[in-house]
Structure 1
């Protein structure tokens, strides 16, 4: 595969992993009452913005996430890894296409903190009718349910390790366990998000944009909330570490 595609992929994958890792760590600290807060992407970027050289880090992460979005578009249109041209392969490439737009949005969220002191944004309800909002939220809930199922399948069938080239390394088993934990935890949080979106579609007055922060808050408010939130947050951090490792040892099918 072309070296420039590999470079774009590795930079993007690393930025994605770092974002998930920080989100998990900040939420885990909140669950353990050691500071931090229930954290989504916006809260992660707000945290980075407040650090020394925060603006520089935000620029780097935003560019990295743009690289990841570009990698998804490359996978969708150019198909450098030779994804099969059957219905399953086409569905995979379509998912990469839409995933590219998702990460472009996250990159915009990171860049937004460069010129805005707050991560606040206008609500979709300012632009869409309640009925259209309900349809949109229900559709998002269904899509999230499918994504969660895909993560569970990847963990159960152990297919995610095929992306690695670390079989001869002593920490291979640790990386594999981090991947299991991370994929299951991410699937669990995504299922909660799916429930929140579908509930928002069914009940009036709940049409606010939802994200990871709301999923962790939902866990926190439930029975055994701190334990559930802590385990899920640790899983997010493990998923982030797994993705960061993937940036270094990713197998690109060549």
Structure 2
């Protein structure tokens, strides 16, 4: 009996060690995710604020994510801010890759689950790369904006280049539809530990910020999808004709009542940034 009792202790010790290590890993992953959501919130908030100011001729600028990095670097202590932001964006990229590859929250391997996990992985790669670009830019190893006059086209034939643009445009279109579906279903706060939000008003504000943010993201992504698809369909189009977030803002402003439309979309992006801060504060994780 004594031998049996003794033989159990090493097993119990190993189990405790595994649980301890798992707890540390879970806490580390949560901190990585939290840092990522905060950094993403900063990027979207600044993007929205600058676009809003630009819409009503109060300064600001129409800028995408990379332009925001350049803008921040020009501010006081800009390099420090950009490095911290870059680290946060890398954290967000790592969190998305963990969601896509390791599936810690049990999304699954059915068709819907795989599509979601693939989209997480792609998002992770994009944000991880953006974070690296920010850090490298802050240390002056290279500039995001090239000063040279490089007129060379990519070494791809016209049909291949068009196909790539169409695929990207289609993927962005699906992403835009997904934003609208989330609005329709209203399930974008399912990952929130809603019971920890004691104020009913705070719960309402979080949900409203989510609605406004997803709507603006869906609109902007739809326009960028249109840019890619139209460039891809035009077989004579150059890769230099591909447009991004800044051009999407200009497209909105060029419509009837454009400054008000742009102001509405920009305010929605600020709301999305605030929604990311709320996500950092109240998101629940499946350990």
Paired residue for 1:139, among 161, 167, 175?
167
Q: How many residues align?
A: 254
Cα offsets for 1:88-139 (capped at 9, x unmatched): 2122111111111111232233234321785325789344333322111111
Distance (whole Å) between structure 1 residues aligned to residue 243 and residue 137 of structure 2: 19
Question: Residue 235 of structure 1 corresponds to which residue in structure 2?
Answer: 268
Is the alpha carbon distance of 1:123 and 1:184 closer, same or farther for their aligned partners in structure 2, counting shifts above 3 Å? farther
Matches within 5 A, 1:13-28: 13-28=37-52
Distance (whole Å) between structure 1 residues aligned to residue 281 and residue 96 of structure 2: 18
Unaligned ranges ≥5, structure 2: 1-22
Paired residue for 2:129, among 97, 105, 108?
105
Is the alpha carbon distance of 1:154 and 1:81 closer, same or farther for their aligned partners in structure 2, counting shifts above 3 Å? same
Distance (whole Å) between structure 2 residues aligned to residue 249 and residue 153 of structure 1: 22
Unaligned ranges ≥5, structure 1: none
Most deviating of 172-181 and 121-130: 121-130
Aligned-pair Cα RMSD in Å:
2.0
TM-score (normalised: structure 2):
0.82
1:163 to 2:163 alignment: no
1:217 to 2:282 alignment: no
Question: Residue 58 of structure 1 corresponds to which residue in structure 2?
Answer: 82
1:207 to 2:207 alignment: no
Cα offsets for 1:156-201 (capped at 9, x unmatched): 1011011222342231101111110110111011000111111111
Distance (whole Å) between structure 2 residues aligned to residue 206 and residue 163 of structure 1: 42
Most deviating of 108-117 and 27-36: 108-117
Cα offsets for 1:31-74 (capped at 9, x unmatched): 01110011111221122101111101111111111111111111
1:253 to 2:283 alignment: no
Distance (whole Å) between structure 2 residues aligned to residue 131 and residue 3 of structure 1: 48
Most deviating of 189-198 and 211-220: 211-220
Most deviating of 66-75 and 158-167: 158-167
- The answer to whether the 8 Å contact 2:91/2:128 transfers is no
Distance (whole Å) between structure 1 residues aligned to residue 70 and residue 97 of structure 2: 28
The one of the two structures with greater contact order (alpha-carbon pairs below 8 A, sep at least 6) is: 1
Distance (whole Å) between structure 2 residues aligned to residue 219 and residue 52 of structure 1: 31
Secondary structure in structure 1 of the residue aligned to 2:255: coil
Report how far residue 202 of structure 1 moved: 2.0
